[in-house]
C-alpha cells in the first residue's frame, strides 16, 4: 500500500511539472510587448492561412515537432500556440523534454476574439 501511494504521488508531480501555463490573450499580449520570445504556432499551414497567426511566428506543425524542434532557439522563452491550446500544451511538453524554456501555451482563436492583430502567411490570399 505504501508503494502504491508513492507511485501515485510521483505520477502527480510528473503530470504537474509537464503542464504548460495556459496563457490568456491579455497575458500573451503582455509577454509579446515586454519580452523577446519565440512564438511557435503548431497548427497546420492551412489553419494559418484561414485564421491567421501572430506577427513573428514560427510554424512547425505538432506532427513534425519531434523531428524539427532543433530549428527553435534555445536561448529564448517559447510560447506555443494552436487553435484552442490543446496541441500547444502537447508541444510545450515535447519542448520541455528537450530542454527548452516555455512561457506558456495559448489558443489563437481567443486572441482573435479580443480583436488583437493577426498576420497571414505571405503566400495567403487573405490580408
Under a CB-based contact definition with an 8 Å cutoff, are residues 99 and 65 in contact?
Answer: no
| 8: phi then psi, degrees, rounded to nearest 5 | -65, -40
Reported as a pLDDT band with limits 50, 70 and 90, residue 10 is very low
In the CATH hierarchy, which fold is given to the domain comprising 2-113? Oxidized Rhodanese; domain 1 (3.40.250)
3-state secondary structure of 5: helix
Average pLDDT over residues 16-23: 72
Residue 43 scores a pLDDT above 80 = yes
Mind listing the pLDDT tens digit for each residue in 84-125?
999 999 999 999 999 999 999 999 999 999 999 999 997 554
* Degrees to nearest 5, angle at CA 24 with 88 and 53: 55
Range list of H helices, 1-127: 2-17, 25-34, 45-51, 65-68, 86-97, 108-113
C-alpha cell read off for 66? 519531434
Amino acid at each position: 500500500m505504501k508503494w502504491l501511494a508513492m507511485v501515485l504521488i510521483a505520477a502527480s508531480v510528473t503530470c504537474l511539472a509537464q503542464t504548460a501555463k495556459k496563457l490568456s490573450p491579455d497575458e500573451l499580449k503582455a509577454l509579446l510587448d515586454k519580452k523577446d520570445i519565440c512564438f511557435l504556432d503548431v497548427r497546420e499551414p492551412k489553419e494559418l492561412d484561414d485564421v491567421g497567426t501572430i506577427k513573428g511566428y514560427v510554424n512547425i506543425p505538432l506532427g513534425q515537432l519531434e523531428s524539427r524542434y532543433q530549428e527553435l532557439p534555445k536561448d529564448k522563452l517559447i510560447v506555443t500556440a494552436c487553435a484552442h491550446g490543446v496541441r500547444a500544451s502537447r508541444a510545450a511538453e515535447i519542448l520541455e523534454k528537450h530542454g527548452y524554456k516555455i512561457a506558456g501555451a495559448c489558443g489563437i482563436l481567443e486572441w482573435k476574439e479580443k480583436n488583437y492583430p493577426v498576420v497571414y502567411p505571405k503566400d495567403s490570399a487573405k490580408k
